[in-house]
Amino acid sequence: MRRKKEAVLCFEWNDEGLPKVVRDYRARYRAISQVLDENPGVLDLVHKDLQKLSAGDSGGREGDYTSENILRALIVQHREGLPFREAVIRIGSDPFLQDFLRMRKKAVMDFTFLDRCFLAIRPKTWKRVNDLLGRHAVQEEVVDPAVIRADTTVVETNIHYPTDASLLWDTWRVASRLLKRAREVDPASCPHRFHERKIKRLYLYVTRYASSPSKRRQRNVKAAFRTLIERTGRIVAIAAEFCGQTTSGVGSALAGLALELKAYLPAMEQVVATARRAQLEGETVPASQRVFSLFEQHTELIKRGRREKPVEFGHKVLLCQTADKFITDYEVYQKQQQDFLDKMLAHWQAFRAGIEGTISGLKRAFRLVRCFFKGFRSFQRAVGLGVFCHNLIVLAEHQPG
**What is the secondary structure of 71-87 as a DSSP string?**
HHHHHHHHHHT--HHHH
**What local confidence, expressed as pLDDT, does residue 125 receive?**
96
Q: How far apart are CA 153 and CA 370, in angstroms?
A: 12
**What local confidence, expressed as pLDDT, does residue 339 receive?**
52
Q: How far apart are CA 327 and CA 119, in angstroms?
A: 23
Q: How far apart are CA 108 and CA 395, in angstroms?
A: 28
| Pairing state between β 327-332 and 300-303 | unpaired
Residue 356's SS3 state is helix
Show pLDDT as tens, one digit a residue, over the chain (401 residues): 788 888 776 767 788 888 999 999 999 999 999 999 999 999 999 999 998 886 555 555 677 899 999 999 999 999 998 999 999 999 999 999 999 999 878 889 999 999 999 999 999 999 999 999 999 999 988 888 888 888 889 999 999 999 999 999 999 999 999 999 999 888 888 888 888 899 999 999 999 998 999 999 999 999 999 999 999 999 999 999 998 887 655 568 888 899 999 999 999 999 999 999 999 998 999 998 999 999 999 999 998 877 888 899 999 999 999 988 999 999 999 987 655 575 555 555 555 566 888 898 899 888 899 999 999 999 999 999 999 999 999 999 887 66
Burial 72-106 (b: 16+ CB within 10 A, else e): bbbbbbbbbebebeebbeebeeeebbbbbbbbeee
Cα-flanking dihedrals φ and ψ of residue 21, to 5°?
-65, -35
Question: pTM here?
Answer: 0.89
| Pairing state between β 148-157 and 370-371 | parallel
Contact status, residue 118 vs residue 74, Cβ threshold 8 Å = yes
Burial class (CB in 10 A: 0-12, 13-18, 19+), 371: buried
* Eight-class DSSP state of 249: G
Q: How far apart are CA 91 and CA 65, in angstroms?
A: 14
**What local confidence, expressed as pLDDT, does residue 148 receive?**
85
Q: How far apart are CA 116 and CA 113, in angstroms?
A: 5
